Structures are given as structure tokens and as C-alpha cells.
Homo-oligomer: A and B are copies of this chain.
Amino acid sequence: MIDRLINKIIKLQNPTCVGLDTDFEYLPVEMKEGVKNFSRASEMIFEFNKNIIDAVADIVPAVKVQAAYYEKYGYSGMKAFYKTLSYAHKKGLMVIADGKRNDIGSTAKCYSAAYLGRTQIGERLLKAFPSDMLTVNGYLGADGIQAFAEDIKIYKKTIFVLVKTSNPSSSDLQDIRIWNGQFIYEKMGALVEEWGKESRGRYGYSEIGAVVGATHPEEISRLRMQMPHTFFLIPGYGAQGGTAEDIRSCFLRRGLGGIVNSSRGIICAYKKPQYEGMGYAEAARAACIDMQKDLSAAIGKMGR
């Protein structure tokens, strides 16, 4: 699955991921009018996502759909989450479910079934929230990660494990030094590189990727050296402050190595002065084109 993502990035010369962190509040006023319950709000959120997907599907390789923004609208929100994942697949996009899920082995298997695998009901194997990739928190260690391994193999899926997150307080735990002088995030990175060693694809990257925030350029550079076989999912570009220059060092080998997410920067582009007069979908497309230009100017030709 990581090979499929890399192929798409090369084909489109675009390592941009559109983050569908669609808060109901982000919608244009006319879509919010008269909406009073979760069911209707969730329909509107899906409608918004659908139009964004239609506008960007031919120029970006993937979308990342943030579960938290759907859970806050209850089970109706989870229906909009499901419909968004399904619609993005239908339009040929790769789909990253951003849930940062984690638990002990037997429970992590349920999360794996929910997002990457199948759930058995009688003789039937059904899909709950069909995704190509899922973000995962690795604090519980190998058995919490290996629970996903079987589905990764059978269904050709990928997970991204949190290594160094984009938020200001990521330093509280992640930047503490352990006994051998490594930072905790480096140790997590080393575990991820190790966990992935059985599943490397044709570009040399494994099915166990890492989340590394765009807001930490030094750490990206350090981790890229230490994790040569790990593909990075890079949040924090744009609204959170990360720039193309900050993440350049991720893309050392043939201009590959990561995919960069922007959420508000794209789905709320219609509120920015530079996209004035455009509808939200048109503005999202324009913002994707601008982001592609910005990234490719920093990275150079991908797959060279």
C-alpha cells in the first residue's frame, strides 16, 4: 500500500494530503442555516467533503480524515465519516483514517478490523470504516502494533505510528533523553523502523510509517537519517506553522520519503484573502495547487 501511495505521489508530482478535519463551524453560513441536530449537521459535513473531494481528486494522492471531528457529532458524525471514506475511495484517492488508535493486543485487533481489515458477522466479512492507512499511537509497544500486522499483510494496508508530533507540548515526554542519550522520540522511531523491517516495498519503505510534525525541522532531519526505511506522514504544514523549507530534509532519496498534510489551510482556504471570490471547493483546489508548487520547489522532482 505504501508503494501505491508513492506511485501516486510520483505520478502527480505531489506529496500533498488533504486533511478533512471538517468542523461544522468551518462550513459556509448558507450550509449551516437552520441546522439544529447531529443528523443534519453530519449530512452537511459530508456534502462539504464530497465537493472538496470532487475538486481535488485529480491533483492530490490522498486525503486524511480526522476521526475526532466526526466523533464530536455522535453516531451521525460517524456515518458522515464512513461516507467520506467511501466516497474518497470511489474517486480514486488513498484514504488515511487519522484516529491515533492504540490499545492492548486483543483490543487493537478490533481497531484493525474496524479500519483496515474486516469484521466477521456469521459467515460474512464486512468493512466498518474502510481505510487504506491508519494512524496509531505506539506507547503500548509491539503487541499493540503487531495486532495490525496481519491485516496489513492480507489487505495490503499501512499504519503510521506517532513518533514526533507537531504540537508545542510534544517535548514534554518525546524530547526527554533516555539512558543512552537518545530522545524518547528517537527510541520510538527506532522501534518503528524495527517493526517495519518485514514489510518493505519496492521503494525501500515499509508498511509501518511514522508521524513526524512539520513544526520540528531538526527532528525531521535527524529521524530521516535514523529511519531510512520509514515513510513519514507530516502534519503541521500551513496553519500550524510548518513550511516547505522545514520539511525538505525528509525527501532525501529520489525526492521521496513523506506525505505532507494540510487541513484548515485547504478546506478553509475560501476564507483567506488570496482566494477571495472563490467557493470553498474551488478555493481548496487552488490551495492544493499552491501547496504543490511550494512543496515541489523545495523538494525537486519526485521519483527522480
Shortest distance between the CB of A137 and any CB in chain B (Å): 5
Please tell me if the beta carbons of B111 and A68 are within 8 angstroms of each other in the complex: yes
A211 to B192, CA, bound (A): 24
| A121 contacts B167, C-beta separation under 8 Å | no
Residues in B with CB closer than 8 Å to A102 are: 100, 102, 137
Of B25, B75, B104, B142, the residue contacting A82 (CB under 8 A) is B75
Residues on the B chain within 8 Å of A76, using CB: 75
**A186-200 contact mask (Cβ, 8 Å, vs B): 1 or 0:** 011001000000000
Q: How far is the CA of A38 from the CA of B268 in the complex (A)?
A: 34
Q: Give A153-187 interface residues, CB cut-off 8 Å to B.
A: 162, 165-174, 176-179, 184, 187
Interface membership of A74, Cβ < 8 A: yes
In A95-121, which residues have CB < 8 Å from any B CB?
100-105, 107-108, 110-111, 113-115, 119-121
A24 at interface, CB cutoff 8 A: yes
Q: Which residues of B contact A167 (CB under 8 A)?
A: 104-105, 140-141, 143-144
Q: How large is the interface on A (under 10, 10 to 19, 20 to 34, 35 or more residues)?
A: 35 or more
Whether B141 and A24, one on each chain, are in contact in the complex, defined by CB atoms closer than 8 angstroms, is: no
Residues of B contacting A162 with CB < 8 Å?
139-140
Number of copies of this chain that the complex holds: 2
Chain B residues lying within 8 Å of A107, measured Cβ to Cβ, are: 21, 66, 68-69
**Partner of A73 from B119, B122, B170 at Cβ < 8 Å:** B119
CB of B38 within 8 A of CB of A124, answer no
In chain B, what residue has the closest Cβ to A188? B173
For A127, list chain B residues within 8 Å (CB): 74
Residues of B within 8 A of A184 (CB): 173, 176, 178, 184
Cβ of A78 within 8 Å of any chain B Cβ, yes or no, is yes
Are A173 and B128 CB-contacts (below 8 A) given A35-B121, A75-B75, A119-B73?
A: no
Closest residue to A145 on the B side, CB-wise? B169
Identify 18 residue pairs between A and B in the complex whose beta-carbon atoms are under 8 Å apart, listed by A's number: A66-B103, A69-B107, A72-B114, A74-B128, A74-B129, A75-B81, A75-B82, A78-B78, A104-B165, A104-B166, A138-B173, A141-B169, A141-B173, A143-B167, A176-B187, A177-B178, A177-B179, A184-B184
- 3 closest A-B pairs by beta carbon, nearest first, are A141-B172, A141-B169, A68-B110
By a beta-carbon cutoff of 8 Å, the part of chain A in contact with chain B is 21, 23-25, 32, 35-38, 41, 66, 68-69, 71-79, 81-82, 100-105, 107-108, 110-111, 113-115, 119-122, 124, 126-129, 137-144, 162, 165-174, 176-179, 184, 187-188, 191, 235, 240
